[in-house]
Amino acid sequence: MRILGLDFGEKTLGVAISDPFGWTAQGVETIHRKGEEEIEGTLKRLQEIINDYQVEEIVLGLPKNMNNTLGPRAEKTLLFKEQLQNKFSLPVHVWDERLSTVAANRSLLEADISRKKRKKVIDKMAATYILQGYLDHLSN
């Protein structure tokens, strides 16, 4: 069973996929949009990924505030969750993504990746952290 991990940003969507056993997460790509509301192309690409990998579940990072409240970005993410459920008829779970981008950025800095290259992969890496956290939770 493959699980898709997503990091939903204003103009990007980081995408990661689990291995068939649900043990590890690997980054797939970053989907770019021209604007926040231009979601059709993103959904079309996700459909291709879901078909290619035979995805059965989706995990969507929920950007909570540090005090555990939901801000405007989290509200937009929950609306995106509804769009995903309506479009793909798959279970969509939200997963607390606090500090996932920070952790991804730290890993890239430790690997001495240039700022330009970090910018290209940070969303995909954050999606990987989100999905791996969910997979680890399932295995416990």
Mind listing the pLDDT tens digit for each residue in 80-130? 999 999 999 999 999 988 766 666 667 766 766 666 665 666 788 889 989
Mind listing the pLDDT tens digit for each residue in 54-81? 999 999 999 987 788 888 889 999 999 9
Q: What is the pTM of this model?
A: 0.88
Residue range of the domain that includes 11: 2-139
The residue whose two tokens read 């069973």 is 1
Helix (H, G, I), strand (E, B) or coil at 114: coil
CATH number reported for the structural domain that contains residue 135 in this entry: 3.30.420.140
What is the tally of structural domains in the chain?
1
Of residues 39, 37, 3, the one with CA closest to residue 23: 3
Contact at 8 Å (CB) between 3 and 21?
no
